[in-house]
Amino acid sequence: MPETTRACLDALPPQAAGSLERLRQVILQTVEDDPAISQPIETLKWGEIAFVPTAKSGGTTLRIAWKKKKPDFVGLFFHCGTNVSEQIDQFVPKECELDGRRGALFPLAKPLPEAAIKMIAALVLTYRRR
């Protein structure tokens, strides 16, 4: 895990940090399992953990974050100029929320919907290839 990622997680409330750590693991497992996705660069964007795709993947940046304005959720965030939110609406569980055109929010009190997260991650990280 990059030092910047660890520092970002360490600055969060424990429950949020644990959920984001699991989100990160699911994203990295998705990358490993899907040959269409090249290994993204893990970095920070706007103080949030970000996975920046390589040109080979043809995707757009995927960020994971906990935000003070929605403290009971963690989220996956993507470029608002894409149509990803329209595409994921069908497989995001009811207890989750869409954050406009830029993300999906998952309640901390529920198990993460890993199948939906994998689909979102694959869609975002290969977005420009579709």
Q: pLDDT digits over 56-101, tens only?
A: 667 889 999 999 999 999 999 987 666 666 776 776 667 777 676 6
Alpha-helical segments (H) within 34-97: 84-88
Q: What is the predicted pLDDT for the residue at 27?
A: 96
Other Cβ atoms closer than 10 A to 97? 15
The CATH number assigned to the domain holding 110 equals 3.90.1150.200
Q: What is the predicted pLDDT for the residue at 29?
A: 97
pLDDT at 130 exceeding the cut of 60 = no
Mean pLDDT of the chain: 87
105, β-bridge pairs: 75, 97
The amino acid present at 118, given as its one-letter code, is: K
Residues spanned by the domain of 97: 3-129
For the chain, the domain total comes to: 1
pLDDT at 38 exceeding the cut of 90 = no
Q: What is the predicted pLDDT for the residue at 103?
A: 85
Q: What is the predicted pLDDT for the residue at 56?
A: 66
Residues 6+ apart with CB under 8 A from 62: 27, 40, 50, 51, 53, 76, 77, 78, 120, 121, 124, 125
55: confidence class by pLDDT, cuts 50, 70, 90: confident
